[in-house]
Chains A and B, each alone.
Chain A
């Protein structure tokens, strides 16, 4: 019986871990941990405990699949993985509200779409309609209310020097995952629990993982909202993801630090999460992010607004220490509010049905 590997001095460790904004900082964090090298422990899907060394952390394939590269290397442009992570964050917020609803009123009908869920749980209209929404929402002006809501998802671009590299952080105040479920959710591939939840956005259960492929290291930490632990352990789960080049092979894959042969990640006490102000939700970072030749601070705002053209929820983007957070509404909103003084026409044709086309 293998017991999960523990990390000592939780609070101090976690403070350092979530501060890691560069690949060298992550390497420093890893250097202090008992880790079996990737060449020593070779994952065997049929017997993952084979070669496992008790008391150590091991590099464990994301999705329990050494052939995971094909499902992780999906990013066509630098902004795509960030958009996917942002979508995940929106889903975490919606899921938290859905669970609260079910606790208050068991059996309530499931929202039929993400937009319906957002309207039901946040009273928020489509963002491209917000500029014309002259009713207040929950006692606030619609825009002010939505602006507050945007603070629950924070996308940050952090530039490190010597060497110069960028880190992308995506933080949300959503439902989070318990340490014992992290490997089966955020670190799984294609094992989505979303298909039976029409109010969530993703379908394939792997979009967010594309961020691993465009960064040297990724770390993630998640803490479940205490009222929805469903019998799982409380606390915060933490791990690091990196690319593995197996010796003598050309099938690169991505692996994370696991604390148990079943794939569980290291669990830290809730006090560690409290120490960094993480009540519930997920923090993740993709470090030494490969932005190619683009200057991300200048292009991220525009790129994300195009990718998340009319997102179901707003979010914040921080592109530099000198700039305050920009609320991100998507280009649908930006076009709606743009130059209303000069609009020649603005109309929405709703609900037109067209018979099946015949050749």
Chain B
């Protein structure tokens, strides 16, 4: 049974064109087989099993698209419930930036409340698509503005990235082979793109690194009160927090870049160290096109005593830039502890005669004039259905007695007794000013339920100060060696097939030999190899049955894996070229995930056949 991770709707005005309602539903990847997940009774209606048999598609959303294999129409535009247009998941991936959610996100846009003029401009008699004019452009802008920074979507995207990061890392032999293939490829070909798509210009065979600790002058990003003034460049990390939390046996990545970014190419040595040293903590470093990923894994010994958690240490990354005498470094505190998932909280008992209304959000509510809507969480003990529909039995209203001209306050639909107020604070209010708000739930009989809360006008969050280089004295290391692959290599095994990492966030099958995940701001290009793909499994078993030497078996599997990874790498580069072409010519074809899935499958078959053929 497929689960829903996110299902929320927005009703947004788009200026003079009227209003639209947006619902976004994000499905969970299928749970691992045999997992003991919490399950509630299903609501009335047919169970999924009673629905007509729908062939399992490649993603949890497959059963909700027009065609499970061809339809990617996951952004639908409805008029009176009828679909009039649909966009594919490139909108989710490219326009919204949620690459890892693209195959399990459905966005439903209801156009019923558009003005008559807007409807007449966009809606076509054929129902085959909306007219791509000003109104549709405004709708698109509104969708992006509403969803691009949605905290829930951002959270789910980060979780999906984490899923990918937690796959088993590829072994060093295969990485080495793949590096050779990539280097040979680049020696014979010009770079197709600079920046994030490319591995940078430090060659994989270049050795860099640092060695013994020695007290010396270092430059780091710090407050002006620390040390003496320093100079750019600096090392900076993608994660802003001072603390990095690790789970045992789970890989975590910290992305490092140079400031300014262009200085990255002038790095000659880079190394990561921890203090105090933890024997069980593995530290790796992988180059990405614009920086490096420090990969951290705490390998928990079998007899490890849980009482030792949490473990704490400090990670420092040092780098030497050309023509800079002082090393640069950055520092993060590491806390290693077990993950204790919070059990789902029981649903509160809800009544058809509600008697409680409560503000849940901490007060005072922070109100930013002209900023994004402030969300005020509220709970009540009324059944959701009391406040649903166009003529609900219960309605909510909120107002600001402190300021009669305060704009109308809107609400989300209640869900399990919880809902939110959305407060749009007008410009022109004084920072620090307190405003009182009243919330009323009005039912058919009796006095209304009331609750009040306080808001405080806050100034917009200050623009983070520009990183300032500061010179400090610390113990820092000297020279060693480090390989710098422009990618990350991961393996997936059968027990992990349900992880949503196949071509973005689909589950794996025995027919999937590999996939890649495009680099994001915080993750490099990730090549994922299915170690238990049917063809590879049979190939391995065949080699063993033939009584071949263990090293021969290993060598052939390595060759296969490296070549599959190399082909994935090339597919990624090819896709980038296609996307560039498409940016200039809309008719240019960009290979879809399904096409790439089939391509890598064919390549694997050919490779395996080739290796089975006697020389």
Instruction: Identify B127's interface contact among A84, A126, A306, A342, CB under 8 A.
Output: A84
Query: Which listed residue, B40, B78, B110, B389, touches A119 by the CB 8 Å rule?
Result: B389
A306 touches B4 (CB 8 A): no
Query: Can you name 30 A-B residue pairings with CB atoms under 8 Å?
Result: A80-B127, A115-B390, A135-B352, A206-B125, A308-B81, A310-B108, A319-B52, A329-B45, A335-B4, A338-B27, A340-B43, A341-B38, A341-B39, A343-B5, A344-B4, A346-B8, A346-B415, A346-B416, A347-B413, A347-B419, A348-B23, A349-B8, A349-B12, A349-B422, A350-B21, A350-B412, A355-B13, A357-B14, A357-B15, A357-B141
Q: How long is the Cα–Cα vector from A91 to B52 in the complex, in angstroms?
A: 27
Asked if A306 contacts B412 (CB within 8 A), the reply is no
* Shortest distance between the CB of B585 and any CB in chain A (Å): 23
Chain A residues lying within 8 Å of B15, measured Cβ to Cβ, are 354-357
- Encoded as 1 (CB less than 8 Å from any B CB) or 0, chain A from 114 to 152 comes to 111001000001111111111100000111100000000
B22 at the interface (CB under 8 A from A): yes
Spot the interface stretch: A215-223, A229-237, A297-305. A297-305
* Tier of interface size on chain A: 35 or more
Judged by a CB distance under 8 angstroms, whether B42 is at the interface is yes
- Residues of B close to A245: CB separation below 8 A: none
Q: Is the CB of A343 within 8 A of B7?
A: yes
A301 touches B54 (CB 8 A): yes
Q: Which residues of A are in contact with B by a Cβ distance under 8 Å?
A: 71, 74, 76-77, 79-80, 83-84, 87, 113-116, 119, 125-135, 141-144, 201, 203-204, 206-207, 298-299, 301-303, 305-312, 319, 323, 326-327, 329-357
Expressed in whole angstroms, the Cα–Cα distance for A1 and B108 within the complex equals 56
Q: A298 contacts which chain B residues (CB < 8 A)?
A: 52, 55
Which residue from chain B places its CB closest to the CB of A332 in the assembled complex?
Answer: B108
Question: Given the complex, which residues of B lie within 8 Å of A206, measured CB to CB?
Answer: 125
Which single residue of chain B is at the shortest CB-CB distance from A114?
B80
Considering the chains assembled together, what is the distance between the CA atoms of A74 and B126 in angstroms?
5
Q: Does B410 contact A (CB under 8 A)?
A: yes
Q: Nearest Cβ distance between residue B436 and chain A, in whole angstroms?
A: 22
In the complex, A336 Cα to B81 Cα: how many Å? 14
Most buried by B among A142, A204, A337: A337
Across-interface contacts of B86 in A (CB, < 8 A): 306
Q: Which residues of B contact A132 (CB under 8 A)?
A: 43, 384-385, 388, 415
Interface residues of B in 412-449 (CB under 8 A from A): 412-413, 415-416, 419-420, 422
Check B7–A346 contact: CB distance below 8 A: yes
**What residues of chain A lie closer than 8 Å to B90, measured between beta carbons?**
none
Measured CB to CB, the nearest residue on chain A to B350 is A134
Expressed in whole angstroms, the minimum distance between the Cβ of B120 and any Cβ of chain A is 8
Residue of A nearest to B415 (CB): A346
Query: Given A76-B128, A327-B46, A341-B39: A347 and B415 within 8 A (CB)?
Result: yes
**A310 vs B21: C-alpha distance in the bound complex, in angstroms?**
13
Q: B112 interface residue, CB < 8 Å from A?
A: yes
CB–CB B7/A336 < 8 A: yes
Task: Report which of B21, B82, B156 forms a contact with A201, defined as CB distance below 8 A.
Answer: B82
Instruction: Give me 7 other A-B pairs in contact (C-beta within 8 A), A71-B125, A344-B5 excluded.
Output: A125-B385, A130-B45, A206-B125, A333-B45, A338-B1, A347-B9, A350-B11
Are A349 and B68 in contact, CB atoms less than 8 angstroms apart?
Answer: no
B307 at the interface (CB under 8 A from A): no
What's the minimum C-beta distance from B20 to chain A, rounded to whole angstroms? 10
Q: What's the Cα separation between A329 and B51 when bound, in Å?
A: 11
Contact string against A for B residues 140-154, beta-carbon threshold 8 Å, 1 for contact and 0 otherwise: 011000000000100
Interface size class of B (residues with CB under 8 A): 35 or more
B383 pairs with A309, CB closer than 8 A? no
Known contacts A87-B82, A312-B81, A342-B3, A335 near B64 by CB under 8 Å: yes
Taken residue by residue from 356 to 367, chain B's Cβ proximity to chain A (1 for < 8 Å, 0 otherwise) reads as 000000000000
* Given A337-B45, A350-B11, A306 contacting B52 (CB threshold 8 A): no
CA A151 to CA B38, docked complex, whole Å = 35
Contact across chains for A352 and B63 when beta carbons are under 8 A apart: no
What A residues does B266 contact at CB under 8 A?
none
Task: Assess whether B587 is interfacial by the CB under 8 Å rule.
Answer: no
Give the chain A neighbours of B68 by CB distance below 8 A: 302
Does B138 sit within 8 A of A, measured CB to CB? yes
Minimal beta-carbon separation of A80 from chain B (angstroms): 6
B556 adjacent to chain A (CB < 8 Å) = no
Q: Is A207 in contact with B78, judged by CB distance below 8 angstroms?
A: no
State how many angstroms separate the Cβ of A303 from the closest Cβ of chain B. 5
Residues in A whose Cβ lies below 8 Å from that of B125: 71, 74, 204, 206-207
Given the interface contacts A87-B82, A114-B80, A299-B67, does A347 sit within 8 Å of B8 by beta carbon? yes
Q: Is B202 an interface residue (CB 8 A)?
A: no
B36 at interface (Cβ–Cβ under 8 A)? Answer: no
Chain B residues closer than 8 Å to A83, beta-carbon distance = 82, 127
Do A308 and B82 have beta carbons less than 8 Å apart? yes
A310 touches B81 (CB 8 A): yes
Q: Shortest Cβ distance from A146 into chain B, in angstroms? A: 9
Query: Given A74-B128, A323-B52, A347-B413: A309 and B2 within 8 A (CB)?
Result: no
Q: Are B411's CB and A351's CB within 8 A?
A: yes
Contact between A349 and B126 (Cβ–Cβ < 8 Å)? Answer: no
Asked if B83 contacts A306 (CB within 8 A), the reply is yes
Would A353 and B408 count as touching, CB distance under 8 A?
yes
| B66/A350 in contact, CB under 8 A | no
Give the docked Cα–Cα distance between A114 and B79 (Å).
Answer: 10
- Is B138 a contact of A345 with CB atoms below 8 Å? no
A302-B67 in contact (CB<8A): yes
CA distance A77 to B129 in the complex (A): 12
Question: Which chain B positions have C-beta within 8 A of A203?
Answer: 123
Residue B608 interfacial (CB < 8 Å): no
Evaluate contact between A133 and B385: CB separation under 8 angstroms: yes
Cβ–Cβ < 8 Å partners of B553 in chain A: none
Interchain CA distance A9-B375 in the complex, whole Å: 71
Closest to B120 in A: A203
Whether B82 lies near A339 (C-beta < 8 A) is no
